[in-house]
Structure formats: C-alpha cells, structure tokens
Structure 1
C-alpha cells in the first residue's frame, strides 16, 4: 500500500473513533454508564488508536529504523485494539463482566506487542539525538498495562470502597501515564515543528531530565490508593507536574526564540502559536496541567476516597475534552497534511482547509469547557456542551474536506510534482496564518457564542444564578454580614431556624452531609445547585429584612421535612419580618396549574398510542436470571392529554416483569441514569437491606442478588425517601415466582394498579396530594383507561389467568370482571379457591392492599365485551378499568 494511502487508512480509524465520541455524547442519556461511555470512547478509543499510529511513526523517524513487524504488525495491533475496545464498551453497557475482561485482554495484548516492538526497535537502533523520546512511548505502554488491569478489576468488584480507591489509580495511570507520557514525549519534537521554530539546544536534555520525574510521580501517585494513603496521590501528581513543567520550559524557549544552550544567549525570531494546531496543543497542555494541580489539591483536602472520586468527576471535562480530544485535533491538523498528501502543494492546500476558523474554533471549545465548570444553570451547560461538540464536528468535516481537496491537488500535479519545497518532519507547510487584526473578529464571534450559551441558560432559569436577590423587604442595609453553616441530617436542614439581624446580608454555607442529593432554595429566588453527598456550596441570600422560607426543591423532599425558616430579629413592630414565611410558596395546598385540570377520560389517546403490554410470557427454563434495570426520568403520558415526569425502571411504569420458579437465582444490576438518588427493593428476596437496597447516586450502579424461595407475585420498587413519591412517580414493578405445578392456561395477563397524583403538565407528582392520599387518577399498568381504548383479547371458553398486583402507594384494590366469575383465586402465596381441589364455589373479586398480589382464573362463557375494574368504584371511575374483548 502506498505511504499516503496507509496513513489515510490508519487515521480513518482514528476519525471513526472521534465520530463515535460524538455519537456517545448524543446518546449518553439513553444508555447505562453514560459518564463512563463519554470518557472511554474518546480516550480508550480515539486517543489510544492515534497513539498506536503516531508513536510508531515518530519512532521510525527518530530512530531511522523501521519497526520489526512493519506496517502489517501495526495494522494487526490497530485492529486488535479497536475490536478489544469495542468489546470493553459493549461489556460495560450490557453489564457483562466476562465480555469486558475479554475485551480488556485483547487491548492489553495489543499494547504489550506495541511496547515490545518499540523496545526492540530502540535497542537495535544507533544512537540519535531524540531517540530517547521513544523511551516515553515504551514507558507509557508499561504504565497502560497497569491501568488496564485496574480497570478490569473495577468491573469485576462489587466493593464500592475498593472501587473508589481503584478509580484514582485508574485515572492517574491512564490519563497521566498512557496518554500523558506519550503526548509529552511527542510534543518535545512536534511543538517546534508546528510553530516552524528552531529546536532549542537544550530540548533533548530537558526530555532526559523530565522522564524520571514523570515516572516517579506516577509511581508515588498510584501507591496512594494501593496503600490507602491519599496524600501520596497529591505528592505524586505534584512530582509529575514538575516533570511536565520542565518540558514546558523548553517549549516556551522554542516559541520565544531562545535556541542556544545554557551558556549561550542566541535568540532568533519568536514563533508563537499562530494556527489551529499550535493553539490547540498549547491549550491541551494547559488543561492537563491545571487538572493535575486541582486533583492534587483535592487529594489533600478530601475526607475520604469517595469524596476524592467526587472531586475528579467535574474535571473529566477538561481532561477528556480540553486535553484528550483537543490534543488529538491539534496534532492531526498538522500531521495529516505533512505525511498523507504526497507533495508540498497538496499539503499546503490541505493545511489551509484544516486551519479554517482556527481562532474561532479554539476559543469556542476552550471557552465552553472553562464556563462549563462554573456554577451555571443546567441549560447553560447543555448549550455549552453543544458548542464544544460543534467544534469537534467541524474538525471531522474539515479533515475529510482537507483530504479530498489535497488529493485533488495531488492528482492535478501528475507524476512529477514540484518537490522544491519538500516537507520534512520539522519543515514548514508554508501556510500563512491570519494577521492579528483579522484574528480579532473570530475571537469576538467565539466570545459571543459562549456568552449566548450562558445567557440563554440564565434567561431560562434566572434563580439558578441568584437573579432578583435584592433586599428582602423594605429595609436599609446594615453593612454587616451574617454567615451560617447549614448541614443535612436525614431529611432535615440543620439548623431549622436561622436568626438574622434586620438589614444584614445573609450568607449560607450549605454542606450536603446527608446520604442523598439535595439542594437549598430560598423564597427570594436564591438557590444552590443539586449537590451530591459530600458536596457544598455558598449562597448569598442578600440583604434580609423579612422572614423567608428555605426548602429542598427535589420532588417530595420538602414534604418530608426539608424546610428551614430565616427569621429577622430587631425589625420594627409590624414590619415584613412578621409575614408568613411562605411568600407565595404555599405548603399545604395543591400546586397551581395541575394537570388534573386537563383530565378528560372520555378523550381519545394521541395518534399512535400503544397500550402497555399486559400479556404475560411463561417462565423461562433458565435457573439464573441476569437483568440490568436502568433508572430514567422522562416525560410520559398517563392519560389522554395528560403528561407527567415519570421515574421509571427501564423506561416503563410498571417496570419489566421478572418471572421464574422457586430456586431460581436473580442477579439484577441497577444503573442510575437519573438526576437524583434512587434504589430498588425486591420483596421476592429475603436478605439484609443495608447494601443491596441502598440509595445510589446518578451514574452509579449496584448489584442486587437473591434466590426465589417462595412462590407468589412480589412487588419491587424504589425505596429511596420519600418512598411514596418515588413509587407514585412510577418506580415499581412485579416479580412472579410460579407456584409448583402451576397449570397451563390459554392466556395470561398482568395488571399492576397504581395511583397518580398529578402535578403540572410534564412535571412530577404533587407531593401535597400524595400526603393527603387524594389521587387524581388510578390506573392499571400506568395509563388510565388504556384497556378501554385497546381491550385485552380472549376467546369464549378459553381459560384466562389474570395476575394482579397493587403497587399503591396508598390505595387498596378489589379486582372484578363484570359478567365473569372466578373459579380459582390465588392470594399472597396460597390458593384461596381452586388449585388441586376444585369445588362448587366461586369468587367475585380479588381484594388487595398495597404491595399485595395474586391471580384469578376464569373462562368467558360467550363472546362479548367484559369490563374489568377495581370495585372500589371511585377509583374505577378515576381510570382503573378496562375491557376483555371476547370473540
């Protein structure tokens, strides 16, 4: 294969991984492990593929000796890596540990081969000035094997404490070891090349001095989690940053034109960054260094490994987008034209395409990443992430365009291109960057884009940034500030009442010391972000002259008691300090604008409506049932013209049916893809609830394993407080364990009854109605009257079994089929009628309390429509009814 075609083919693999990164960002809300996916597709996929290709290219060039296995060996390693990485990603998304470990083994084998080939190549080559840079690549390969091993161990362990420690080692070895070492070693030579600057005489010495510091820092940092000593992480990162700073000093010398040795003062024309490649490489190094410094500080101040893990999460954006993706785009913007176009003219044309809008793109990407770290409304962050993703899309488009245009120029040159300006590794591609004045316009345009993203989010959610927080009440500021620390105990703010002298500015230091996510909202519009356990935020309430209420705005938390009062002292008699603390936030009445006003059970569902599948499949022959349930928080219709924000298992309410037999083992993986803490409680399992039923935060997973020991229909549900709110919002489902020798029937159906306490359209349940036990709708399988619109089918004379579960959270049920009689009734694990001994008796209803269930059997005597209802008739009239259409 010709050289040009080889580089285009191998880098097409890299670009494909970049495209998959964009896909991951787009779909992450709809898959399990979204954060893991958005980190590993760009780093394990795109960055690692690029390292395999370009570290081999630089090793061949620097050592002036081809690799032992040549291009064929690199091709095999690149394919093995891509297949292995794909298997790792699939295994994580499907919660298949063996598949994950198999994929990691393939990736590890590719890296072992890569490191061995580089080491052999280095050993056999004659000494060259920059041959030592290949040592960076060999060392990075060794380090990466440790990172892969730790990643595999993390996927196989269920110990959350151990995982918190392993995450720290995994990030250090992979981000600062595998990718960091490779990038820094490459930049020693690539940076002056991109700048078209002369190489400093001390560059090789700097590289030689820095490598021991970088490796020593990695060793110390990884020893921290392995030995359970957090300060070692900080010490190791600081040592590593020192090595990186040593290399950065040589980079600054090159850009400033100081090219002489230590005793010389030779200076040539300064060559600061002036292209997309130069600016991107500089910004990427800055993000890597800043993130390392912040993480070092976090390792010193964190109370435990879990808190440290929480501190790493916000910095994944700078590490992945600011460093990993940006260094990849910058390097490829320079290297692709140089090595893949085939002639100077084609390279210049290709480089010009890749440099289009350089200043604009660099400023948008880095501005978006920087502002994303600020305490902005979530809408602003979404818009900023779109802007950053747009820069990556633009790079992919321009890369493809550059190849097309460059190849067109090369073909036009024929068999004898002009090579008088032949490009070498350190040569110039002859592209003239924009003059400073012409560069100002795109920079201002970029600023306008990121400001518009922030402004759009603030306009949509002004209270998130404290707008309209002027003095509370007509009071003159005292010039004094009262600062109060607010913590969380269970479902209470501590203190519950705060006294503030009239006219003082109030500052609240809010620390979430609870075990679930919370926020703090004040009646004047000031509110915190939603804080995970261990996080904190400072709120400036403003000048206080009137009594104010504060509460947690997460659905149901206020009704559980998460309120506080801000009481003004020293106010004149009759002043605003004596007013009600609610200030328009009524607590004890239903929410304004309830979707209950839109309920019309005579209306038809929207076009394309499909009722929740009620038909029940028989139990499988498997004895081990492995299932992943993903928590989601999405809007869904609950009646014709009525939409609510539903919290669900796997996107449906009720959640997926689990069915088996006595003795079957169930291994359930819960993935929290929501925005608040959730949990799961299987009534079908008998075990201590402390660990398997614990609340997990967004992005976390847990595994719940139980063995079915008794027959019956068992409820499962979220048990996070307030439990009534989580169940009322849809977090429930059924586990059916067949009684021994359960007779076959012609049809089986499952109906799960639940109540709906409607909040505003598209929002969560109304906690006030829920506490008062006044539902607006009662439904079978989550949608009022759905089986009136789409009846269940049967034939005259067929035997039909109907399993029924009352999920509540509050109301009982009395299941009845109009025109039918039950000859078999099974309630809470025992036959009450029928079974092995059938007598002349019959039954007219199956009475259930919340969390109870059973089944009934009947045969319809003739064709017709047989309504089924809860015979608690007010609830039937609220939507708990349907029809059996019998042919």
Structure 2
C-alpha cells in the first residue's frame, strides 16, 4: 500500500465511509418498512459511518501529532478498517435476522478492531518524539478502549428479554459508554487542536494545556455513569454525565475564544461549532433526564429524546464538518485545494442553518406530518454534502493535474496551520442564506400543518351549535394492531366526551380529533385521559403518527340526537387535500355491518373432466370498501368472478351472456386457441360459446379483453382458473387470493379510466374488497398445512405475497416448483411469492401455534391500501 499516493489512499478509505453514509440514508428513507428501524438507523449511522470516520482520521491525526507513522502503517489501518466494517455488518445482519451467533461474531470482531486500534495508538505514542500536542493521541487510545466496553455491554443487553429489569440499566450504560466514551472522547481530543485549525485562528501558548485534565475528568465521568448503572442509582449516572459535561466545558471555553480570532467563515467551522453545541445539549439532557427519572424504564424513554439531536445534530455534523475541511486539504496543491474547498463551501450558511433550525423545529411538539417534512428537508441537505464532496474531489483532482507541482507538495493535514484566509462573503449574502434557510423550514412546518391541521390543534369542524347537557360520556378506547377499539363512539349531542385511551398495541400511537384535541404520543402500555370537549356534531378521530391513519387507525364520533343536516359534512377538512380518493376511505368494517366476505376457501377439483359453465355479465353497484361503492362490471355477479378448477386434460365449455349495457368479452389464459372468434366482443343481449382444453397446470387469469382492457379489468372483470399439477399433495386447507386494484370514480359510478392510466390505485384488495379478511379472518388450527393460491389480476401493480410470522416450505410459481418440502436440504424456506400482473402460483406453510397471522402484499403501500388479511389460528 505504500506505493499508493497519499490522497488516493484517503479517497479509497473514505469511500468506505461514503458507503456507510449511503446505507444510513437508505435506512432513514425506508425505515417504515424495516424491522428494528430505530435501532438500525442509529447503528448504521454510529457503528457504521461515524466509527469508520473515527478509525480513518484519528489514525491520520495521530501520525501528524506524533510525527511518525503507526506500527504497520497503512496495512495495519486497512486491516482495522476491514475488521470493523465486517464486524459492524455482522452485528446489523445478526440483529435483523435474530441470529445470536452472528451478533456475537460481529461484536467480537468490532471489539478486536477497537482493541487493536487502542494498542496501535499506545505504541505509536510511546515511540514518538516529545511534542506539544502529542499527548492528544491518548484520547484516541482511551476512546477505542471505551468502544470495547460499549460493545460488550451491548451484546450483554441483547441476551436479555425486553422486560428484564437489568436491561434498562445496561441500556443507559451502553449509550453513555459508546456516545461519550467512544465518540465523545475522540471528539474532545481532536477539537482541542483541530477547531482552531479549521477556523484559521491564532494558537496561543496556553491552548491545549488543559488536555490532561479534560481526559481525566471525562474518563472519571464515564466511570461514575457505569457505577450508577451498576448500583441502581440514576442520580449517580446524572453526576457522571455532569462531570463529562464539565470536561467538554473546558474545551468549549478555549473554543469560544478562538471563534473571535477566526479568519474565515466556512461550512466546516459552522458544522463543527453547531455539532459541539448539540453535544453539550445532549449530555445535559442525559444528566437531567436520567437524574430526575423515577426508574430505569422512564430513563430509557427519556433517552429516546437525545437520539435525533445527538445523531443528526452532533455526530453527523461533526463528521461532515471535519470532512469539509479535510477533503480539500488532501488535494495538496493550493489551487486544487481552493477549488475543492469552494465546492464544499457552497451555500455554507444556508446548509448549516437549515440543518440546525430544522432539528430545533423537529424537537418541538409539532404534528407527525411536520416532523416527517422536516426530516426530509434535513436529510436532503445532508445528502447534498455527498454530492458536493464528489464534485469537490473531482474538481480538485482535475485542477491538480493542471497545476504545476510546487517544490514541496503538501503531505497531508497540518494541524494548527491554516491556509491563507479567503475573502469573507458580504454580510448581505450571508443574511440572505439565513433568511432562505428559515423560509424553507417555515414552509415545511406550514405544509405539515396544512396536511394535518387538527394534529396541530386547529379545529376543522363547522362549529354547529348545540345546547350543552352538563353530562359527561366517558369511553375506554384501546388499540388492536392498527385499529382503535371501539372505532365508533356514540355520544349524546351536547355531552362532554372523555376518552380513556390505552395503548395496548406494539407501536407508539396517539389520538387526534377533528376539533383539534390531541393526546400525547403514548408508548406501548401507556394511557392518557383525553377531554375531547362538548360533542355538537359527528367528527373523525385518528392516529396522527405518519402512515398509521392510512393503515386503518381511525374512529368516528357520532353525535346521537344532533340535527341530521350537515351532520357528515365536517369530519376532516384535510381529506380532500391529502392524497386523493384513497385518503377519504375508511377501510374498517363496522362490527354490526353483517358483512359476508368473498369465500376464499377452495373445494377440490370436480371429478368430471368436462366443465359446463354459464357466465352472465352484470353491471351492479357494489361495496368495494366500507362505505365506498362502485358500479362494477362482473362475471356471474362477483368480482373476482367465480373460481374454476380442474385437472390437466379437462375441457371447459363456457357460455358468456352479456346482460350489461355495453360490449364485453372474455379471455381465458388457461387455454390455447386462436383468439379471433372466442375472445370477440359481444353486444348487450348477445352470448357466445368459448371452449378450451386445459393442457397445462397453473392458476390462470381470465378477464374481459374489450378495449380499454385496463378499465374493464380494473372495474371487476377478472377471475381465476386453477388447473392442478398432477402431483399436487393434499393439505388441510386451500384458499385463493386474487389481488386486484380499484381506481375510484364518482361514488357509485364506474372506474375512472384516467386514474387507471396513472397506475396509482386507490384500493388494492384481495378478492375484490379492501381488508375483508382482516376484519373477518380466515380460520385454521395450529399444525394445519395451508395452501394459498395467489393470482395477481392487476391490471397494473405487482404483488409480493407474505404471511407475517409464517415461512413457506413449498413454493410453486407459473407452472413449476421453486421450492418443495424444504428443497434439497429439507430445511429451505421462502418468505414471499412475487408475482407480476397476470402471474400466479401457490405457497404452502404450517402454522406452529395459535395466534393471528397477517397476510399482506409486501409492497407495503399496497397493503396499506387494503391488500391485507388475517389467518386466525386456534389450538
């Protein structure tokens, strides 16, 4: 590796950091669909990106401060970096797959890399010449040892159940050791010299003289935190955090003075300065939050507050700020450095202000939608750094090639030595960037409030007057999955409604009413009394946590005895603006609706080898979701049409009778024949004979092929033909699931063809009705083997059929087995059956124990539009 040029080495090693950053962005973007989402976002960022940056740059700073290369040189660093990357990846993979051996292997490898790093720092420091700032390398050695301790505590914690009383104490210790010990100690040692370097501030003889005291106090503070956790004493944890905060204060005192001597304003300086402020805020909240808690469970809940400010405010900003200074420096030559620096300093004030104002706004008690929009804004600004970094390196390298080599090319970062300061930007430009940043954040806040005004405390009702009765109606409301129970609250008009909300679910929830009254966000097991106010008219209530309402967390407040006029006009003013027709749908069945779902149970194939079927076409207004009706065009009065079943070699003689008001036709994929005559369109009152022989096995689609075909399929004209493969084994239960899409037109009217063309359905359903098997589950017994036949009727959207809590031991798709009885190993399994429109297959699984097993399209936004159900398994 010695032959690799220094700047090339930096670019290669920092590409690993870039990959971790991309992984963190992906985790944040897709967190709603990922297991252990909060843990994943934290650890991809901290254990992945931030720790990688520490390994790379602490070694470089150690080389610079000791004026000698570390034992093993780049080879040693490459091995440590590779080990840490592998170990971190294994820890993450082990947690996601819940495989303890993988978690243990990853933890051991990460600890080994950290221990090697600490040893390297110690050896390098012992052989170094005396220098003023050389002892700062001690911070890096100590911080790596803290990582070994933090990893050990983390693995210990992973062995405990969620309700183990020791888990809370270990969690606090794990957070403190990793954040204050590994990351915080590294930062303390670095900023003592790096901060004035970034600012191009003059170094004074006393600068850095307190570093031994800083290291001692910070170490003692973490030891006290650990002692507090071990002794079951939260106030002692708080005392340790205060000690650590005092060590940070010693560094910040000098840092504030150095700001006054700063020669230029750069993104690096702004970002690092803001990061140090967030670090102080986070440690302060750690001290107050844990010290005043009435138990470890409360302390853990309070520590959740510091996740965003510590990671986004401190950790990410400290890394981006450091890289904004370091990447230009490694260009070496002056012009190349300036070009790279100019790229990374683009809109510096705007970027820094947007990030930090956005984080402050996020931490305020704003609605969930506002938090989502603020997160998107801040994330986009973070992503902009990656774009600018790539541009800066490319521009710098290009300029370097064109720039004559000086007598002595720069060999790296010279701490304490700044480049000649650039001319400061005019104050008008800087204030303009500040105003723009504030405007962007205000726009995000205003947009979120406009989307969900009730969650912001704004009354969206019409203000109907009613005489107050002086009575109070109290109703207990609990949570079942993604539903409120009950979901209809009947209250005499004029009564005051009080809701006793208990979060009996497994996620954080709240309840928001259209009159602007909201509860706090409740963790699982928490409860709150919500005074909704005097009920004068019907209104809606919902969970305002982003995405939960779309998944069915709504309820209705019915004002019994209120005037009928306009009673349903004011439910939720946001619906018409918040996502089209789908936002208006209530996908929850009323308990007294008497609803009968489409019969998903399959009978065996008839013994006869000739099947005579008459299929009348009808056009009827039917319900496709609770309270949502459409005029569907159907085969034999159902959508999907009747399921036909037979064996290879069977003959199907179908008579199509058009009892509709327009031309229709039928196309059976299960047969092979020239389509000219049997698939022709027939007019109202006409009929045709369609005969085909089933020569191949499969679950085949049939549908109307009259143009526009997409609209005819989307309006209900589809069904399934099942031709059994010859070796089909018997099972205890067979069900059929035909997924289709609805593109809603006017209430009670037919499909909206313009909406079909967008390929963005309002409803995605199994067997023609949104969520019907969630509200009326399928019934089987534990130990039963169940076969699901699945067909994607489209017309536009694919499916990925998945059973939550289940694993498929047999998968048969489009005419062949991809897995049978566990495959060649006997223990193989499958988690999803992916199908494009007009494809089909079946999966088999056995439910091991009683419970409720959801089945969904794992294209999760479609599951949230109605493609979900439940298998209720009894003993």
TM over 0.5: yes
Q: Which residue of 2 aligns with 1:17?
A: 20
Q: Which residue of 2 aligns with 1:346?
A: 336
Q: Which residue of 1 aligns with 2:383?
A: 393
Matches within 5 A, 1:627-776: 637=739, 684=782, 712-713=784-785
Q: Which residue of 1 aligns with 2:732?
A: none
- 1:123: how far off? 2.3
Q: 1:519–1:529: 8 Å Cα contact kept in structure 2?
A: yes
| Structure 2 residue matching 1:597: 3-state secondary structure | strand
The normalised TM-score by structure 2 is 0.63
Q: How many angstroms apart in 2 are the aligned matches of 1:381 and 1:187?
A: 31
- 1:251: how far off? 0.6
Q: Deviations over 1:112-167 (max 9, x none)?
A: 11100111222232332222211211111111101111222233333532433322
Q: Deviations over 1:451-470 (max 9, x none)?
A: 22222221111111012379
Is 1:284 the counterpart of 2:275? The answer is yes
Of 177, 196, 199, which aligns to 1:195? 199
Cα distance change on mapping 1:851 and 1:102 into 2, 3 Å:
closer
Q: How many angstroms apart in 1 are the aligned matches of 2:341 and 2:467?
A: 63
Q: 1:84–1:102: 8 Å Cα contact kept in structure 2?
A: yes
Q: Which residue of 2 aligns with 1:334?
A: 325
- 1:315: how far off? 2.5
Matches within 5 A, 1:315-334: 315-334=306-325
Cα distance change on mapping 1:65 and 1:539 into 2, 3 Å:
farther
Q: 1:200–1:250: 8 Å Cα contact kept in structure 2?
A: no
Q: Deviations over 1:78-107 (max 9, x none)?
A: 122112222222222222221222122112
Q: Which residue of 1 aligns with 2:650?
A: none
Q: 1:486–1:510: 8 Å Cα contact kept in structure 2?
A: yes
Q: 2:332–2:412: 8 Å Cα contact kept in structure 1?
A: no
Is 1:597 the counterpart of 2:630? The answer is yes
Q: 1:359–1:439: 8 Å Cα contact kept in structure 2?
A: yes
Q: Which residue of 2 aligns with 1:309?
A: 300
Of 56, 61, 66, which aligns to 2:64? 61
Q: 1:379–1:457: 8 Å Cα contact kept in structure 2?
A: yes
Q: Aligned Cα RMSD in Å?
A: 5.7
Q: Deviations over 1:260-303 (max 9, x none)?
A: xxxxxxxxxx3287210011001111111112222322213434
- 1:66: how far off? 2.2
Q: How many angstroms apart in 1 are the aligned matches of 2:374 and 2:726?
A: 46
Ranges in structure 2 where 5+ consecutive residues have no aligned partner: 573-585, 594-622, 640-702, 705-709, 730-737, 745-760, 789-800, 811-815, 821-831, 853-869
Cα distance change on mapping 1:647 and 1:322 into 2, 3 Å:
farther
- 1:111: how far off? 0.9
Q: Which residue of 1 aligns with 2:826?
A: none
Q: Which residue of 2 aligns with 1:216?
A: 220
Cα distance change on mapping 1:159 and 1:598 into 2, 3 Å:
same
Is 1:448 the counterpart of 2:470? The answer is no
Q: 1:523–1:549: 8 Å Cα contact kept in structure 2?
A: yes
Q: How many angstroms apart in 1 are the aligned matches of 2:802 and 2:64?
A: 61
Q: Which moved more, 1:326-335 or 1:420-429?
A: 420-429
Q: Deviations over 1:685-738 (max 9, x none)?
A: xxxxxxxxxxxxxxxxxxxxxxxxxx544899xxxxxxxxxxxx9987878999
Matches within 5 A, 1:144-293: 144-161=147-164, 162-256=166-260, 270-271=261-262, 274-293=265-284
Is 1:356 the counterpart of 2:351? The answer is no
- 1:424: how far off? 3.4
Cα distance change on mapping 1:615 and 1:300 into 2, 3 Å:
farther
Q: How many angstroms apart in 2 are the aligned matches of 1:445 and 1:580?
A: 44
Q: 2:50–2:316: 8 Å Cα contact kept in structure 1?
A: yes
Q: Which residue of 2 aligns with 1:676?
A: none
Q: Which residue of 1 aligns with 2:107?
A: 104
Q: How many angstroms apart in 2 are the aligned matches of 1:5 and 1:588?
A: 67
Q: Which residue of 2 aligns with 1:768?
A: none
Matches within 5 A, 1:401-420: 401-416=391-406
Is 1:81 the counterpart of 2:71? The answer is no
Cα distance change on mapping 1:377 and 1:124 into 2, 3 Å:
same
- 1:614: how far off? 11
- 1:377: how far off? 3.1
| Structure 2 residue matching 1:426: 3-state secondary structure | coil
Cα distance change on mapping 1:522 and 1:204 into 2, 3 Å:
same
Cα distance change on mapping 1:789 and 1:3 into 2, 3 Å:
closer
Q: Which residue of 2 aligns with 1:138?
A: 141
Q: Which residue of 2 aligns with 1:828?
A: none
Q: Deviations over 1:777-812 (max 9, x none)?
A: xxxxx99xx99987889xxxxxx999999x999xxx
Q: How many angstroms apart in 1 are the aligned matches of 2:721 and 2:9?
A: 53
Q: Deviations over 1:372-398 (max 9, x none)?
A: 222333332222222222122211111
- 1:616: how far off? 11
Ranges in structure 1 where 5+ consecutive residues have no aligned partner: 257-269, 478-482, 568-573, 621-635, 656-679, 685-710, 717-728, 739-745, 751-781, 794-799, 810-848, 855-887
Cα distance change on mapping 1:299 and 1:637 into 2, 3 Å:
farther
Q: 1:167–1:309: 8 Å Cα contact kept in structure 2?
A: yes
Q: Which residue of 1 aligns with 2:357?
A: 367
Q: Deviations over 1:553-589 (max 9, x none)?
A: 599999999999999xxxxxx999xx99998699988
Q: 2:149–2:177: 8 Å Cα contact kept in structure 1?
A: yes
The normalised TM-score by structure 1 is 0.62
Q: How many angstroms apart in 1 are the aligned matches of 2:763 and 2:416?
A: 58
Q: 2:143–2:183: 8 Å Cα contact kept in structure 1?
A: yes
Q: How many angstroms apart in 2 are the aligned matches of 1:360 and 1:382?
A: 20
Cα distance change on mapping 1:748 and 1:419 into 2, 3 Å:
closer
Q: Which moved more, 1:57-66 or 1:160-169?
A: 160-169
Q: Which residue of 2 aligns with 1:626?
A: none
Cα distance change on mapping 1:315 and 1:801 into 2, 3 Å:
closer
Q: How many angstroms apart in 2 are the aligned matches of 1:284 and 1:119?
A: 28
Q: Which moved more, 1:351-360 or 1:444-453?
A: 444-453
Q: 1:469–1:526: 8 Å Cα contact kept in structure 2?
A: no
Matches within 5 A, 1:500-539: 517-528=508-519, 530-533=521-524
Matched pairs, number: 663
Q: Which residue of 1 aligns with 2:676?
A: none
Q: Which moved more, 1:329-338 or 1:419-428?
A: 419-428
- 1:514: how far off? 5.6
Q: How many angstroms apart in 1 are the aligned matches of 2:47 and 2:845?
A: 49
Of 350, 353, 371, which aligns to 1:381? 371
Q: How many angstroms apart in 2 are the aligned matches of 1:279 and 1:541?
A: 45
Q: How many angstroms apart in 2 are the aligned matches of 1:296 and 1:452?
A: 34
Q: 2:87–2:105: 8 Å Cα contact kept in structure 1?
A: yes
Q: 1:471–1:545: 8 Å Cα contact kept in structure 2?
A: no
Q: Deviations over 1:735-778 (max 9, x none)?
A: 8999xxxxxxx99999xxxxxxxxxxxxxxxxxxxxxxxxxxxx
Q: How many angstroms apart in 2 are the aligned matches of 1:202 and 1:803?
A: 72
| Structure 2 residue matching 1:285: 3-state secondary structure | helix
Q: How many angstroms apart in 2 are the aligned matches of 1:302 and 1:355?
A: 43
Q: 1:343–1:422: 8 Å Cα contact kept in structure 2?
A: no
Q: Deviations over 1:219-269 (max 9, x none)?
A: 12223333333333222212211211121111112223xxxxxxxxxxxxx
Cα distance change on mapping 1:792 and 1:218 into 2, 3 Å:
closer
| Structure 2 residue matching 1:132: 3-state secondary structure | helix
| Structure 2 residue matching 1:451: 3-state secondary structure | helix
Of 436, 458, 461, which aligns to 2:449? 458
